[in-house]
Amino acid sequence: MFKSTSFPLFFLIFLTNQVSTQKTNVLINLNKTTSWGDKDLYTGFVNVTANSTAQVDLLNVYPNVSFIIFQVHSHSYNVTLYNNTYVKGSYVTGTNVGMYSSVKPKIDTFFIINPNTIDIKVLVSIHGYTTADPIPGGCNMEFSLPISPFLLSSYNNDTIMVDAAAAKDPMDINCNSIDKSFVNFYKMYLPERDFDADTYYMGIINMLTFDKIQDNGEYIPYTGLRMRRMLSAYPGTGAIYVAVAFSSKNTSAYSVYVPTYSYACDPFIEGGCEIMDDFFSQMLCASLTFVGLFVCFFGHRFFKTEMFLVGFVTGVVITYILISLMADLNRAALLGASVLSGVCFGSIWLLFWWFYGIPIFAVFLSTLNVGFLFAAIIYHGLPGGLTELELDLNFWTLFIFIMLLTALLLLSMTFLSNILCCAILGAYATVFPMDYYIGSNLRFIIINTVRRAIVPHFNMAVLSPPFQWKDAVIAALWIGLALSGFLVQHYHNRARPPFPPPPRSVRPVYEPRRRYGQISAPMMPVFAAPSERTPLLA
């Protein structure tokens, strides 16, 4: 019984070992002539079968080359890259990996392991550098390889981190000083919600050489972290990140790190790029479309409803920020508490109008909301690297100043400003869900401001938002809705009082009861006489 079952088992183990040790040989000539801005010796695709190893031998290296950077890129599956010996400290695993090799006395042979159960296509790129060029990752103290010419990217719900190992200047063999070379970071956005492998590989190719980086990349400014860049996350929008090392004494000497990428989410699992992954969040987002349309075109006409909605939104934002700072709740619980608080805040604001009915105070909250949105737009579009605004005191002082200045300017024309505020806020609420469902990024105008308030160290993050054709369409729709909403409301309210009277000023007041036996006329409602507290515009 034992013999009959053990033979198939041993045969299966033998077959598995044979498959896992399969090797394919690839020969690459490196005799291509390079230029200052293009030091690419070879770029091409290599197919690596499942559970196999591809051996890459390099021949005929260009004479001026002193060392090379050998890099491998895959899309969604990890690969392992190692050189002559597969021991600790001589291999690296990931989707964007690379290794250094000196040309003398002999250039290394590289091996690409595909540990996956499917065949994959990888992009192999080899760059050659001279003795004057800095070695990317040559002064590494944290990464897995002694010389780590690649970048590491990581992300969470709010930020993306891109890290690089310090470069080694040829004149500083022992890495005694980090000031002899400096590293600049660049990025390039991929099309929004495009997770196709061909798009990804084209993005990598467009960021391999310094010439292409200058043509396609955008500089990521320094924000106090020398070998790290923190960026605001835009889930679903891919980005290619790369770093370039320069010699401090000879800026014409440079080398390019191995590019990396991030979608700020995991698009290869179902729902991996969904920000609103619970039913309550999705329903709340969808309802914004209908509420926004109502406020955009009928907000001023239904003034009391507008008062409640403006107070509701203000309460939701304030509560969301305060609870996030004080407690760690999941999104559904946080939104639920914020909505309940918003209902209370909206009711209080409506009661304020009910009892006092002062138009300039009632409109002030609407203008503050528009001021908040305007300040958020400015923050969203500011270039990174403004060290003065990294201090929270400076940032929030300027932010509140812009809010108040916008509100005070709008209050000078109370009637028109209320219609304008309804149109702008209602139009933004209308396009917010559309922005989410089509994958553009204008919703991050508000989200980035909330992140600045609640996410630790977000003051160091570079926003640099993408603006692609989807964003342009949503922005045009927002402007179009705001203009049409203003015109429609202004037309509907012609020949009408600018503001309706508050309910308290028009409710009936009855005469007090008379004693028994007194003759009195039937009680008739007596309306309150105008006084110095009666609104002038009522």
**Secondary structure (DSSP) of 463-484:** ------HHHHHHHHHHHHHHHH
Residue 174 token pair: 């022992």
**Per the structure block, which two tokens stand in for 142?**
């944290």
- The per-residue pLDDT for 503 is 66
Residue 171 pLDDT: 82
Instruction: Pull the structure tokens for residue 335.
Output: 């939104």
H or E element in which residue 340 lies: helix 331-355
The pLDDT of residue 249 is 87
Please give the pLDDT value at position 531: 58
Which pLDDT score is estimated for 23?
80
- Say what the pTM is: 0.87
The H-assigned helical ranges of 357-506 are 359-381, 392-411, 414-438, 444-454, 469-492, 503-506
User: For position 17, what pLDDT does the model report?
Assistant: 45
Q: What is the pLDDT of residue 520?
A: 55
Which residues of the chain carry a pLDDT beneath 70? Answer: 1-21, 503-538
pLDDT at 507: 54
Q: Which helix (H) or strand (E) holds 28?
A: strand 22-29
- Looking only at the bridges linking them, the beta strands covering 159-164 and 151-155 are antiparallel
- Looking up tokens 């508490």, which residue turns up? 337
Q: How far apart (Å, rounded) are the C-alpha atoms in residues 406 and 34?
A: 55
Which pLDDT score is estimated for 511? Answer: 55
Q: What per-residue confidence (pLDDT) applies to 535?
A: 61
pLDDT value of position 6:
43
pLDDT at position 16 is 41
> Phi/psi zone of residue 216: left (φ > 0), alpha (ψ -120 to 50 degrees), beta?
alpha
Q: Determine contact, residues 394/459, Cβ cutoff 8 Å.
A: no
